[in-house]
């Protein structure tokens, strides 16, 4: 694979595949992201410096948290945007872990996005 500077990864996690301890039992209806309707979620956006292996480091950093959706977009200018949808109970911890990464420039929590 040749890295042309533009990478896009979008990997939703569906409630039918894996459920988190403490989540309510999955229902038959779910929204487009695969999150059960009763489960609160939080959306975080991180601006980062794109480089070799950054996507792997982000995935490894967030591996133990209730990540429902992860989107990574990099540009030819060496910048990257990471959008993460997590369970509301994990949002503070995920935000702190993203902030500790060396490549991170800024992390913001998006309010009111559903």
pLDDT per residue rounded down to tens, the chain (114 residues)? 444 556 555 555 544 444 555 555 544 444 444 555 567 889 999 999 998 889 999 999 998 888 899 999 988 788 999 999 998 888 999 999 999 999 889 999 987 665
Helices (H), the chain: 54-61, 91-100
Q: Give the torsion sign (CA, 25, 15, 81, 51).
A: positive
């Amino acid at each position: 694979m040749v890295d042309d500077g533009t990478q896009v990864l979008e990997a939703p996690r569906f409630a039918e595949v894996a459920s988190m301890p403490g989540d309510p039992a999955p229902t038959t209806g779910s929204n487009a992201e695969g999150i059960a309707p009763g489960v609160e979620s939080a959306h975080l956006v991180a601006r980062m410096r794109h480089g070799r292996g950054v996507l792997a480091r982000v995935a490894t950093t967030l591996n133990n948290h209730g990540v429902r959706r992860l989107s990574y977009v990099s540009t030819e200018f060496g910048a990257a945007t990471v959008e993460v949808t997590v369970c509301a109970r994990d949002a503070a911890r995920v935000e702190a872990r993203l902030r500790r990464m060396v490549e991170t420039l800024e992390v913001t929590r998006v309010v009111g996005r559903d």
